[in-house]
Amino acid sequence: MTSPAVRFQNVSRRFGEVKAVDGVSLDIAPGELFAMLGPLGSGKTTCLRLIAGFEQPDEGHIEIFGARADGLPPYKRNVNTVFQDYALFPHMTVGENVAYGLMIKGMGRAERESKAAEALAMVKLKGFEARRAAQLSGGQRQRVALARALVNNPKVLLLDEPLGALDLKLREQMQEELRALQKGLGITFVFVTHDQGEALSMANRVAIFNEGRIQQVGTPTDVYERPRTRFVADFVGSANVLAPDLAGRLGAGPRWVSLRPEKITLLADGQGAPEGWVSLDGRLASASYQGSVTRLAVDAEGVRITAAVPAGSAPIVTGSTLRLAWPKAAMVLLEGEP
């Protein structure tokens, strides 16, 4: 049986009175593009630092491809880290930055320059060896940082908010490039982000962190379409979390439920809901045009419900009465909620 690329077994890490990581158990498969997603202070970055060896667990243990890693310093682990600020040496050329780790290992100059050139070609920077970091764009510096990590042939590549410093267009481009690079290399990538769209679009699986614990692990589809807790429903994307009394009246049972805005449609005056659907009348509080969709805030049954409908699909008049409808199956029961 193949060992996980990374395994956490009941791992905790404290900083004084603060428990940054609280009993985390997790397996990351070899060759997986795995995301750790959560708000600031949720424990995701500390978990990444625990894998890298920059932190050590107070409880539990960590394995990398079946070998115990807790207690080992970073240089004795076959992992490399790409930081958000890239941490390039400004006095070195691009080629020297990429080859630096190989030089520290004692590799000869000709061989390390050859390997650095190969790594730069992988990240689409062939011919950039002689440039300085100050001559590069943000996206190019990010690629250099990737090449510097990959040139050491790590078994696991760790990325700490790797695209956080880039603008939207470049971030989207780099998401595609990172996915393609990881697939081509077959290396396990573990990346930390607070950007939900980034995690959902890039990862094979996502771990949702909050207050030092994992709330849910699953594919992007799993965590978005079938959130297990109110926190996951609220944090991943946008959701209407309906209280048990309203959910019960709508046929979902007296439980907290999650309802995604895009699952909701508008019915015309006098139009009944299709079989297997529920409907609810409310008053339009506000409308926000967002290109392909318009987000509606509707007050109904004492709660505010958000719906995302195709832009231009219906006349929108603030204060008007709207009839909302959605499939009963779109109401997802949340675990552990009374």
Give the CATH number of the domain where residue 96 resides: 3.40.50.300
Q: Give the integer Cα–Cα distance in Å for 205 and 44.
A: 14
Q: Is residue 278 part of a domain?
A: yes
Given the structure tokens 């926190």, which residue do they identify? 231
Of 229, 247, 263, which closes a domain? Answer: 229
Quote the pLDDT of residue 173.
Answer: 79
**Per-residue buried b or exposed e for 79-109, using 16+ beta carbons within 10 Å of the residue's own CB:** bbbbebebebeeeebbbbbbbbbbeeeebee
Q: Is residue 12 part of a domain?
A: yes
Average pLDDT over residues 100-109: 88
Chain-wide mean pLDDT for the chain?
90
Q: Is residue 338 part of a domain?
A: no
Quote the pLDDT of residue 38.
Answer: 94
Quote the pLDDT of residue 315.
Answer: 67
Q: Give the integer Cα–Cα distance in Å for 156 and 225.
A: 29
pLDDT digits (tens, 9 = 90+) for 171-195: 787 788 888 888 888 999 999 998 8
Question: What residues have CB less than 8 Å from 143, skipping those under 6 apart?
Answer: 120, 123, 124, 125
- Indicate which CATH number applies to the domain containing 326: 2.40.50.100
Of 199, 229, 259, which closes a domain? Answer: 229
Q: Give the integer Cα–Cα distance in Å for 105 and 94.
A: 18
Q: Give the integer Cα–Cα distance in Å for 12 and 296.
A: 42
Q: Give the integer Cα–Cα distance in Å for 159 and 174.
A: 13
Name the residue range of residue 285's domain: 238-333
Asked whether residue 176 falls in the same domain as residue 284, the answer is no
Q: Are 284 and 319 in contact (CB under 8 A)?
A: yes
- Nearest CA to 57 among 119, 7, 121? 7
Asked whether residue 187 falls in the same domain as residue 301, the answer is no
CB atoms within 10 A of CB 147: 27
Residue 145 vs residue 216, higher pLDDT: 216
Quote the pLDDT of residue 177.
Answer: 82
Given the structure tokens 């404290």, which residue do they identify? 14
Question: What residues have CB less than 8 Å from 19, skipping those under 6 apart?
Answer: 12, 13, 212
Asked whether residue 200 falls in the same domain as residue 273, the answer is no
Q: Give the integer Cα–Cα distance in Å for 34 and 66.
A: 18
- Nearest CA to 193 among 38, 26, 22? 38
* 47 pLDDT above the threshold of 90: yes
Burial (CB < 10 A; 0-12, 13-18, 19+), residue 272, is: exposed
**Per-residue buried b or exposed e for 177-212, using 16+ beta carbons within 10 Å of the residue's own CB:** bbbebbeeeebbbbbbbbbbebbbebbbbbbbbbeb
Asked whether residue 195 falls in the same domain as residue 266, the answer is no
Domain tally, the chain: 2
Residue 31 vs residue 176, higher pLDDT: 31
What is the Cα gyration radius of the chain? Answer: 24
Asked whether residue 210 falls in the same domain as residue 259, the answer is no
Asked whether residue 35 falls in the same domain as residue 159, the answer is yes
Average pLDDT over residues 39-68: 95
Q: Which residues pair with 214 in a beta bridge?
A: 209
Asked whether residue 207 falls in the same domain as residue 295, the answer is no
Asked whether residue 254 falls in the same domain as residue 301, the answer is yes
Average pLDDT over residues 50-54: 96
Asked whether residue 256 falls in the same domain as residue 215, the answer is no
Q: Is residue 1 part of a domain?
A: no
Asked whether residue 54 falls in the same domain as residue 132, the answer is yes
Quote the pLDDT of residue 314.
Answer: 65
Q: Which of 25-34, 84-93, 202-211 has the lowest mean pLDDT?
A: 84-93
Tokens in use for 68? 């115990």
Quote the pLDDT of residue 337.
Answer: 57
Share of residues in the chain with pLDDT > 90 (%): 56
Give me the long-range contacts of 310-315 (CB less than 8 A, separation at least 24): 313/266, 314/266
* 338 pLDDT above the threshold of 60: no
Asked whether residue 252 falls in the same domain as residue 212, the answer is no
Q: Which residues pair with 257 in a beta bridge?
A: 242, 333
Average pLDDT over residues 108-134: 89
Q: Is residue 172 part of a domain?
A: yes
Average pLDDT over residues 159-165: 78
Average pLDDT over residues 303-309: 94
Asked whether residue 315 falls in the same domain as residue 266, the answer is yes
pLDDT category, 122, cuts 50, 70, 90?
confident
pLDDT digits (tens, 9 = 90+) for 62-92: 999 999 998 899 988 999 988 877 778 888 8
Of 229, 257, 273, which closes a domain? Answer: 229
Strand, helix or coil for residue 153: coil
Q: Give the integer Cα–Cα distance in Å for 5 and 86.
A: 24
